[in-house]
Structure formats: structure tokens, C-alpha cells
Amino acid sequence: MTDTARTGPDRTAIGVVGEAGTGIGGPGPGIGEAGPGIGEPGPGELPEHLAAVAAAPSVQRWMHRSGDDVAGARLADLEMLQRFCASLGTDPDELIAQCLRSTKSGDTAISAAGRRKTDQAISAFVAAEGASGRDAIVLGNKLRGFLIHNGIFMQGSAAID
Amino acid sequence: MEFNRVVGTRRSIRFFKSWRPVEREKLQVMFEAANRASRSMNADYFRAIVVNRDDLDAETRDALRNPTTTADLDLAPTYIFWYIDMNYVEGAQDRLKALVDQHALSAAHGWSRAYVDDFLWPQVLEPISKDMSAVLFMGAVETGIAICNAINAAVDQGLGTCMHAFTANETVKSLLGVPDSWFPVWLQLVGYPAEEPEAGGQRPRNPISTLFFEGHTDHPFEEDPEVTERLKREGMLQTPGPFPYRAQEVKMLSRMYGLPE
Ligand SMILES: Cc1cc2nc3c(=O)[nH]c(=O)nc-3n(C[C@H](O)[C@H](O)[C@H](O)COP(=O)(O)O)c2cc1C
């Protein structure tokens, strides 16, 4: 077994980029850990800068996946999505729209190009956040989860090291 | 495991113990099982190459990824690339005559060496070998039959497996020395299940009466409840999914591997 053959920070795999950094993986609730639930205090307690993101239909859809409402979402997830969207100058609903296209018959289909671009943007974001190793995979896959629960089929790498 | 239980326990496994390699001897059993599969013309329709995940460099593994097969490639320690050898008709004449000599095919059923040489080969088999759609159609069916044996042999040995779309043929081709005559079919991922072997329960299937008919399509093949009960006892028919804790199982496995939830 060679090191290069294993999932590691040197890989160029989808969602596995970047070297060790302090960003997201630093002190405080790690990317993979449960952040402080915001369900308990109630929806009214959402930090103001997250209100717009939390209200987006695509985000509601994401949060409703496990029967939660947005209020039950983990603050950290919303924060991360908000930062990701901000880094692209877009919003959650628009992000989903960029992964879709209209077919000749007028149906909506997944855009392979849009999905690839978004996947690359996730990798770039993860790198910019300074996450590495398992943290990088978890962070990337959380963002992929948002897309997945809005119907954009995709997979990320698994953390096996 | 008894045959009925093997068939009933088989699931497409997508969470593997990434750290546990598959013993070579278990692969040999899978390959012998595939090689015992029935095949027309007694031909070798399939070819397969087994590769350890960890022997592939990161670039190659990345090239294999596609939207439906990404995490699985990280989790499964063993990959089997299945192909059709499009030249499988070659030698059919001799193979069929060998079956005649062995009395596997006999005059009792109309077979003779002369039939093979004078009619079957020139009028049927050789023309088939030049008809690409027929070659592909037969090759796909026959390779599928062989794969099915390999799948069940894997399950019988406590392994988990799932078939996957096989993309990036060009990358694999040069790396593994695949001849031009091999046509890629499926990628089989093999390993020890990290999920329970039941993977949350048996998948929904329509009753056999919707798929099988007796004598006429007006007459669905109705199941005999006693046989159904026996198949439940013998493990071919198992508790349908989802088990009450399946969502939690998937959630915990996803967390372990950092996958989307
Ligand atoms: C030939 C073949 C190709 C398949 N391809 C894929 C695939 O690309 N990705 C995947 O996740 N599952 C794939 N599957 C698994 C099926 O989705 C699976 O068999 C189906 O969900 C039924 O579940 P079961 O196999 O557990 O009974 C494939 C199965 C077969 C037989």
C-alpha cells in the first residue's frame, strides 16, 4: 500500500484538496461535529446574517430531509453554506439552479457541466478554508449534502485514513 | 451458507470496511464460480481483471470516479473490472465438437461432429461472429450470468459486493494492458460489509405472479403459500427493508466515513 494510493491531503480527488490549515478545522466545533443546535432556542434566534440563507427554499429542503425544520438545523452547516455561497457571489437557490439545465423537451435535467463546476468550487472552497485530510472531506461532503438533498446527484470521497 | 440463504442475503453493499482486504482465496472461489456458469457454445465470453484499490495511484482512482461511483471506490478494497471478449465465438467449432466427443451433446438430441462442421459453424456461428449487435447482445447476457455466480460466491463467503458503472475505460485500458477486443461491461466492488450484511432489509420486489406466467400471459404464476413459508425459513425471503434502525445505521456509517447525510 503506498501513501499516494490512499486518500490523503495530496490527492486531487473531488473534494479532497488543501493542506493543513487552521480554518474550519481549528478550535471550536469541528466540521464533522455537531455544532450548537439552533433548534432549541427557536427560529427567532437565528443570527441575522443567516436569516436569508435559512429562508431559501433549497435550504428548507435540505434541512427538512431528516424531519427537522430550519430551526433544527445545525448552525455550523448554515454558516458554512452561507460562506460558500458568498465566496461564489451567489445564493443557495441560485447554486442549485446552476446545476440544472432545460432539455429540448422542456424538462429540467442535471447539468453535467454545472455539477462539475460546482464540485470544483466545493474543492476550491475547502482548500481556501484551510481544511485538510478528514476535515476537508467532511466539509466538502456537507456542502454536497445540500446539493444532494436538492436532487443534484453527486458523491464525494470517503474519509478512510 | 445454504443456497437459498445466499440468494436471499445478497444485497448491493455500498459501505465496506475500507481497512479489511479481501483474501485472495476468496477471489479464487468467486472466479471459479463465474467460470462454472453456463455459457452457449461453451465459449469464454467474459474476462475480468482484479485490482487492489491500494495498488492504484490516486490519479487512476480519481479517473474511475463518476457521479454514481465515488465514495464506493474509496471504501471497497477490491475492484474487479469485467469485460466481454468480443472474440468469444472463435474456436466455437472445436469446443462444440469437444462437447460432442464428451457426450455432453449427443445424437440423442441431434448433435454430431458433422452438424457442427457442415451447418452450425458456417451457417449460424460464423455469421453471428460478424454481427456486432449479436456479439454484444450475447456477450452481455453471458457475462451477466457469470457475474451473478461471482456475486453469490462472494456473499456465500461473507463478502459484500456491488456492481457499478464502469467509466474511464481508456485509463484502465492502458494501465492494465487490456486488449482492444475486450469491451468494458461493469465494475464490481468487493469487500467486507461495514453495514450489516442485510443492509437494512431485503429490497422491494414485485411478487413473482407479476413476472412469471403459467402457460399463457393470462395466467400469472401464483405462489404456493407453503413454499413461500419454507423460503422464509430457509432465508431466501427475508424481512423487507427498511429495518427500523436503518436510517440510523446509514447515518452512523456516513459519519464514520465523512459522507454526506
Ligand atoms: C449490472 C448492475 C449495475 C449496477 N450499477 C450500479 C451503479 O453504478 N451504482 C450503484 O450504486 N449501484 C449499482 N447497481 C446496484 C443496484 O442499484 C442494486 O442492485 C439495486 O438497488 C437493488 O438492490 P440490491 O442489489 O441490494 O437487491 C448495479 C446493479 C447491477 C446488477
Tell whether A160 is covered by a domain.
Answer: no
Strand-pair partners of B214: B216
pLDDT of A75 reads 84
Domain that holds residue A122: 3-148
Q: Using a pLDDT cut of 70, give the percent of chain A over it.
A: 68
Q: What confidence category does residue B96 fall into, taking pLDDT thresholds of 50, 70 and 90?
A: very high
From chain B, the residues in CB contact with A145 under 8 A are 260-261
Gap between the Cα atoms of B189 and B201, Å rounded:
20
Number of domains chain A contains: 1
Q: What confidence category does residue A32 fall into, taking pLDDT thresholds of 50, 70 and 90?
A: very low
Q: What is the mean pLDDT of chain A?
A: 75
Using alpha carbons, select from A9, A31, A22 the residue that is nearest to residue B258: A31
Tell whether A92 is covered by a domain.
Answer: yes
Q: Which residues line ligand 1 (CB under 6 A)?
A: B 11-12, 68-69, 162-165, 186, 203
Cis check: omega of the bond before B242, within 30 degrees of 0: yes
Tell whether A74 is covered by a domain.
Answer: yes
From chain B, the residues in CB contact with A34 under 8 A are none
In sequence order, what E strands does B167-212 have? 182-191
What is the average pLDDT across B192-201? Answer: 98
CATH superfamily for domain B3-194: NADH Oxidase (3.40.109.10)
Gap between the Cα atoms of B87 and B81, Å rounded:
18
pLDDT one-digit tens code per residue, B204-259: 999 999 999 999 999 999 999 999 999 999 999 999 999 999 999 999 999 999 99
Interchain contact, B70 vs A115, CB within 8 Å: no
Question: Is there a contact between B154 and B30 (Cβ–Cβ < 8 Å)?
Answer: yes
In this structure, what DSSP letter does residue A73 have? S
Tell whether A153 is covered by a domain.
Answer: no
pTM (two decimals): 0.86
